[in-house]
Chains A and B, each alone.
Chain A
Amino acid sequence: MTARSVRSLSGALKPLFSNRCPGITSCFLQVYGAASCNQRQKSTYTPPPARYGGRHTVTLIPGDGIGPELGNHVRELFRFCCVPVDFEVVNVDSSVASEDDINNAIMAIRRNGVALKGNIETNHNLPPSYKSRNNLLRTTLDLYANVMHCQSLPGVRTRHRNIDIMIIRENTEGEYSSLEHENVPGVVECLKIITKTKSLRIADYAFRTARAKGRRRVTAVHKANIMKLGDGLFLECCKEVASGYPEITFDSMIVDNTTMQLVSRPQQFDLMVMPNLYGNVVSNVCAGLVGGPGLVPGANYGEDYAVFETGTRNTGKSIANRNTANPTAMLLASCLLLDHLKLHAYASMIRRAILSTVSETRLHTADLGGQGSTSEVVQSIMNAVQSTGPQTLSI
């Protein structure tokens, strides 16, 4: 019995029993509740548990650089649009060695199920005992799929047009396993781990997403001619999963050829799935092709949790607190968050407003070649939302 069918069964039975024997109802539900927890077969998604009185609670991790100011803009916009989301802010101080802050953040995300985060800086000159906080978060919560949708936006001038690529990147293993050692002084070994379970999982996620979004073609990116065992295993897993989706074309491409093709003819790609490091490279290349880091949102999905952030995960230290950062990526990420919470009406409303603002060249921020400020962009978005009619706070 799947969790969903149990819930609907108990829901149907509730009115029958509730007025007669409330005690029995609760026992009945408890027994079945326990059974369904053991099953853990979530065939369909149900919203996270942190929803009381119709309002969701979402963890917000401001991060460093432009993160805090963008987080504030998200809150400002949500408050203006009367979105039923409350943010629980958890600050993570990247300058301290203790991992308490990030552990608190992780616990908050476990509690709320969903988070919006800015990038937390990693000082790469510190010794290896200081791990990347972002990576720690992703691996602890097992957010195995990083999804980035790169689309050419109207009003943003780029060298290539009509790009629509979805990138699904394995987010927890591969080169980011952080397993390094120095057996002999001067010789460092870094382990790249590829497992069958995780490769099958990400391939499955990719094909399910392709089917759900009506994508025709899935391309696996790899370097199996050199890393025969590691990437070879990844490729095999993709092929295995592909056989279960006959309506979707599956092909593979070596990563260096992929980058070459991306800069000459990016329109040929549809959905791409790949291990961690190649995902890093390809997603940054695609983000650059559609207009830069300020435009593309990213999402990290796990079995139980989802964390939303900007697609290219930049801290933006050099432009912090100058009111010049492009808020589009973070605001689009917040729309993805609203979709995840099944608040689709709010998500579409805000997304429409954002896209209409992006198409106005005079409001473009510095990264798009303009001179607009962050607050001007956010203000314009709020105006666009107000003009579409639904109830908002007065400006």
Chain B
Amino acid sequence: CHAVESAAAPCINGWEEFPRMQTVTLIPGDGIGPEISSAVMKIFETAKAPIRWEERNVTAIKGPGGRWMIPPDAKESMDKSKIGLKGPLKTPIAAGHPSMNLLLRKTFDLYANVRPCISIEGYKTPYTDVNLVTIRENTEGEYSGIEHVIVDGVVQSIKLITEDASRRIAEYAFEYARNNQRNSVTAVHKANIMRMSDGLFLRKCREVAENYKDIKFTEMYLDTVCLNMVQDPTQFDVLVMPNLYGDILSDLCAGLIGGLGVTPSGNIGANGVAIFESVHGTAPDIAGLDLANPTALLLSAVMMLRHMGLHDYGNKIQTACFDTIRDKKVLTKDLGGNSKCSEFTADICRRIQDLD
């Protein structure tokens, strides 16, 4: 049983006074994963967020029939809780099995990758006032993995665009825009060259846009988006696009706000599953030395809270985190300071207590 019903909760001041504990599957990951996960857990505890963590490990195991899969207890936990928080996972080279991220994606049909890129006050980059969200189709497109050698020296890679996947991602993008008070959705494409494939994607986006008249819909070529993004990122709001363009653009936008160490990310799957993750690497060189920066995982956890409807907790934790960074007194090395991870975490916890 995963839901602990809070006792004696006649809602006096609104139901959030005694919120129901929700279970979240926590996958600490490798390298710095465990330490940043414990930092996040500590911060959540201080904020008294109604989250019960269920820690699971994912390693690829060979299931019946020879197919690679994630451990059954991890799958079971995710299926029940529906929400996951994941640290960085090691990418095995020549291990014989596909990457863990790919396995997770296939297992839970994580079709949308959402990356809100908001400039962090206090962490200066040449770009200020960035406030956009990239929504990337995560299952098909150029990453279908279908490649052939036609003759020696000629290789073809197949980019797959389907009606269903395009409609699904477009619907998610507009729903997200509506739920998060965003004004416009821009479809990014290259239909002048890839007429049929990106044309199909674009048509589906237009069809879905008909049902969301309150949100402005525009289309823009990929190269124009890139050109304008590095000159004036404030003109963009929500961007929706197929897999490859999404990969490039989401990393471009992460670069605008300061890199993968401070960028949150969420993966939305079918059947209500959502896994939020930090997208940086495992940083094996600083693992276990209390030097890691938990910001990316923390902001992903905040995204998770918002997804679950716990906006108050999310805002509180985010404010504390941004205040700490803005103050510049206890920053980890990658943010320009020389404090430890535990000191950074402690500062955030202190601010949360002060906010209460």
Contacts and interface: CB of A to CB of B under 8 A. Distances in A.
Contacts of B191: 124
Given A159-B127, A176-B193, A180-B195, A196 B142 contact: no
Contacts of A283: 223
B248 A259 contact: yes
Contacts of B197: 180, 188-190
A233 B126 CA distance: 36
A75 interface: no
B147 A228 contact: yes
Given A256-B248, A280-B222, A288-B230, A195 B163 contact: no
Interface in B199-236: 199-200, 202, 222-224, 226-231
Interface string B161-175: 111100000000000
Given A284-B226, A285-B226, A189 B194 contact: no
Contact of A193 (B156, B195, B248): B156
B107 interface: no
A125 B149 CA distance: 32
Given A187-B162, A263-B230, A264-B259, A195 B153 contact: yes
Contact of A191 (B158, B163, B164, B251): B158
Contacts of A186: 162-164
Interface in A256-305: 256-257, 259-264, 277-278, 280-281, 283-285, 287-289, 292-293
A277 to B, nearest CB: 8
A195 B154 contact: yes
Chain B interface category by residue count = 35 or more
Contacts of A233: 153, 155
Given A190-B159, A191-B157, A312 B252 contact: no
A154 interface: no
Interface string A156-200: 000110000000000000011010111000111111111111000
Nearest to B229: A288
Contacts of B249: 259
Contact of B227 (A261, A262, A293): A293
Contact of B255 (A122, A264, A293): A264
Nearest to A197: B153
Interface residues of A, number: 60
A132 interface: yes
A196 B252 CA distance: 30
B158 A190 contact: yes
B196 interface: yes
Interface in A193-234: 193-197, 223, 226-230, 233
Contacts of B157: 191-192, 194, 227, 229-230
Given A124-B195, A230-B147, A260-B259, A280 B161 contact: no
Nearest to B153: A196
Contacts of A277: 190, 244
B154 to A, nearest CB: 5
Given A135-B193, A255-B248, A191 B227 contact: no
Nearest to A187: B162
B99 to A, nearest CB: 9
A290 to B, nearest CB: 10
Contact of A196 (B145, B154, B222): B154
Contacts of B255: 259-264
Contacts of A194: 154-157
A256 B281 CA distance: 14
A124 B199 contact: yes
Contacts of B303: none
B247 interface: yes
Interface string B134-145: 000000001101
B183 interface: no
B251 A264 contact: no
A53 interface: no
B192 interface: yes
A173 to B, nearest CB: 10
Nearest to B195: A128
Contacts of B164: 186
B315 interface: no
Contacts of B250: 256
25 contacts: A124-B189, A132-B193, A135-B193, A175-B193, A175-B194, A180-B194, A186-B164, A188-B197, A190-B194, A193-B155, A229-B157, A230-B147, A230-B155, A233-B153, A259-B248, A259-B255, A260-B260, A263-B252, A264-B126, A280-B222, A284-B223, A288-B228, A288-B230, A312-B223, A313-B223
Given A190-B158, A196-B152, 14 more contacts: A124-B199, A176-B193, A178-B194, A180-B197, A186-B162, A188-B161, A190-B196, A191-B156, A195-B155, A196-B153, A233-B155, A260-B252, A281-B226, A284-B227
Interface of A: 122, 124-128, 130, 132, 135, 159-160, 175-176, 178, 180-182, 186-197, 223, 226-230, 233, 255-257, 259-264, 277-278, 280-281, 283-285, 287-289, 292-293, 312-314
Interface of B: 125-127, 142-143, 145, 147-149, 152-164, 189-200, 202, 222-224, 226-231, 244, 247-252, 254-256, 259-260
